[in-house]
Structure 1
Amino acid sequence: MTVYPSFLDALALIAFGGLAGFINVLSAGGSMLTLPLLMFLGLPPQAANATNRVSIVFQSISAVGNFRRAGASQVGLSLRLAVPAVAGSMFGVWLALLVSDALFEAVLVTVMAASALMMLLPQPALETRSLTRERLTPVVYLAMFAIGVYGGFIQVGVGVLFIVVLYRLLKIDLTQVNVFKVFIILIYTLPALAMFVYHDQVRWSYGLLLAVGSMSGAWLAVKVNMGPRGALWVRWLTLVMIAAIIVRLVMS
C-alpha cells in the first residue's frame, strides 16, 4: 500500500526522528515518541509498529558506523549477544501480527508508562568492567532472547531493558552499553523488519522520512556519548514528552 504524508507531516517525521535517534543512542525511549507519532498521523497501530522499524534500522546503521570510526567496536561479543535476540525477535513479530489494534494500543500505553517509571529509577553507582566471552552465561543469553521477543513485538523502551541487563547484571559502563545496544538492535531489527515487509505492514514514505531524521540524531548522539551525566538531561526531556503522549493516547 502506498501512502504519502503531507508536507507538515513530513517535517514532523524528520524532526521527531532526529530527536528519537539522539535519545535512542544516548539513553532510551526514542520509539516512545515515534511510534505514537505515526499513529497520530493516521497509520493503523500495526502499520505504525512496522514502519517505525525502518527508522530503527537506519539510525542503528548510522550509530554503529560512527562508533566504529570512533574506535568503539565490540563486533564479536555483540554478535554472540545478538543471536538469541534475533530468535526472540522473530517470535515477537509473530505475536505483534496476531494482536488486535485495540489490544496493541492498550499494551503501548502500559509499556510506555512502565518504561517511564523505570527511567525514573536512579542508576546505582557500580564498579564496572569490560565484557569478556567467559562472562556470557546462559542467564545472559536468556535475557537477550527475552529482549528480542519484546523488541520484535513493540520495541518501545527496549533500551531500558538493555541498561538493566548490560549495566546492572553484567556491570558494563554505560558508554559501552550504548555501543552493544545499537549493534544488537540493528542485528535483530533487520529480520523483524523483513517479516513486517512480507506482511505488507510497512509504509515506506513515512518510515524513510523518519529515518532521515533519526540518522542525523544518531550521528550527533555518538559525538556526545558521555555516559550517565551526558544523558541525564536527555532522560528528563524524554520523560516530559512521554507523559504528554500517554495523556493524548488515553484521551483519543
Structure 2
Amino acid sequence: MVFLPDYYIPLIIATGIAAGFLNTVGGGGSLITMPMLIFFGMPSAMANGTNRVALVVQNVVAVAGFRHKGFFDLRFGLILGIPAMVGSIVGAGFAINLSDEIFNRILAVVMLLVLYVILFEPHKKYIKYEEEMSREKKWAAGIVFFFIGIYGGFIQAGVGFIIIAALSILTGLSLVKINSLKVFVVGLYIVTSLIVFVLSGNVDWLIGILLAAGNAVGAWAGSIFAVKGGDKWIRWVLAASVIAMALKLLGVFNLFT
C-alpha cells in the first residue's frame, strides 16, 4: 500500500472524474490515471492493477447509463467481450512480469501513438457508417477483440480509441452505439485482468476505491454527454496532458534538473 498525504485524496477523486468522463465519451482516461499513480510512487504493476478497480466501477455505471438511454446490444457485446476477456488474462500476465523501467517506457510510447490517433484519426477514411453487418463480420470482430483484450490486459491506456477505431472500420456503427459496446466489453475484460493483478498482490484497494468513486461520477456524466454528441473540444486538453506525462515517463524532464 502507498501512503499518501491527505491533500492527495481530492486530487485522486478529481482525476477519477476526469478519467471516467474521458473513457466513456471516447477514451484516454487511463492515459491520465496511470502516470499519476506512477508519479505518486506506485510500482508500475500496482498502478496498473489499482487503476482497474476504478475501471470496473466506471464501466458498470457507463453501461447502465447507455442502457437507460436505449443503447445496449448484449448479444454483440458478448461476441466481442468473451474473446477480449481471454486475451486480457494473457496481457495481464505480461504486465506483472515487466520491470518498472521497461513498462514506463512502453507506456510513454503507447501514449504518444494513441495521441496521434486522437488528433488525426487515421482510421476515419476506412469507415462506412451504418453498414449492414454479416454474421462472418461479427465473428471476425470477435477475433480482433481477442488481441484488443491482450493489449487491454497488458497496458489498458488508450484502449478506448483502439476499440472505437476497430469497431468503426469493422461495423460502421454510429459513435454512440460504438461507445455503448466499448464500455460493456472493457467492463468484462477488466474484471478478468483485475483478478490476475489481485492474485499477484498488485492492487492498492484504498486508492482504487477513491479513484473508482471519481470514475463513477465521470462515467455517468460521460454517458449522457456521449448520447448528446460532441467530443472534439476534449482532444486538445487530453493532448497537452498526454504529451507532458509521456515526456515525464521518458525522463526528458530529468535532463533539465
Q: TM range, normalised to the smaller chain?
A: over 0.9
Q: Which amino acid aligns with 1:192?
A: S
Residue ranges of structure 1 left out of the alignment (5+ in a row): none
Change (3 A) 1:132 1:106: same
Q: Which amino acid aligns with 1:188?
A: Y
Give the corresponding residue for 2:235. Answer: 235
Shift of 1:244: 1.6
Question: Where in structure 2 are the equivalents of 1:65-104 lying within 5 Å?
Answer: 65-104=64-103
Whole-Å separation in 2 of the counterparts to 1:240 and 1:65: 31
Give the conservation status (yes or no) of the 8 Å contact 2:131–2:171.
no
Give the conservation status (yes or no) of the 8 Å contact 2:48–2:155.
yes
Q: Which amino acid aligns with 2:231?
A: A
Whole-Å separation in 1 of the counterparts to 2:213 and 2:134: 36
1:169 and 2:141 equivalent? no
Give the conservation status (yes or no) of the 8 Å contact 2:2–2:41.
no
Whole-Å separation in 2 of the counterparts to 1:7 and 1:58: 23
Shift of 1:35: 0.2
Shift of 1:133: 6.3
Shift of 1:138: 4.4
Shift of 1:4: 3.9
TM-score, normalising length from structure 1?
Answer: 0.93
Q: Which amino acid aligns with 2:21?
A: F
Give the number of equivalent residue pairs.
Answer: 250
Give the conservation status (yes or no) of the 8 Å contact 1:109–1:249.
yes
Shift of 1:50: 0.8
Whole-Å separation in 2 of the counterparts to 1:183 and 1:195: 20
Q: Which amino acid aligns with 2:41?
A: G
Whole-Å separation in 2 of the counterparts to 1:197 and 1:67: 29
Q: Which amino acid aligns with 1:231?
A: D
Whole-Å separation in 1 of the counterparts to 2:224 and 2:248: 33
Q: Which amino acid aligns with 1:158?
A: V
Whole-Å separation in 2 of the counterparts to 1:86 and 1:206: 24
Whole-Å separation in 2 of the counterparts to 1:10 and 1:203: 14
Shift of 1:132: 4.9
Deviation per CA, 1:169-209, whole angstroms, max 9, x where unpaired?
22111111100000000001101101110111000111111
Give the conservation status (yes or no) of the 8 Å contact 1:3–1:205.
no
Give the corresponding residue for 2:154. Answer: 153
CA RMSD in angstroms comes to: 1.8
1:222 and 2:223 equivalent? yes
Residue ranges of structure 2 left out of the alignment (5+ in a row): none
Deviation per CA, 1:37-56, whole angstroms, max 9, x where unpaired?
00111111111011110111
Give the corresponding residue for 1:113. Answer: 112
Give the conservation status (yes or no) of the 8 Å contact 1:86–1:188.
yes
Q: Which range moves more in the overlay, 121-130 or 242-251?
A: 121-130
- Partner secondary structure for residue 225 of structure 1: helix
Give the corresponding residue for 1:245. Answer: 245
Give the conservation status (yes or no) of the 8 Å contact 2:2–2:42.
no
- Partner secondary structure for residue 22 of structure 2: helix
Whole-Å separation in 1 of the counterparts to 2:245 and 2:108: 9
Shift of 1:147: 0.3
Whole-Å separation in 2 of the counterparts to 1:238 and 1:160: 13
Whole-Å separation in 2 of the counterparts to 1:76 and 1:140: 13
Q: Which amino acid aligns with 1:8?
A: Y
1:29 and 2:28 equivalent? yes
Give the conservation status (yes or no) of the 8 Å contact 2:129–2:172.
yes
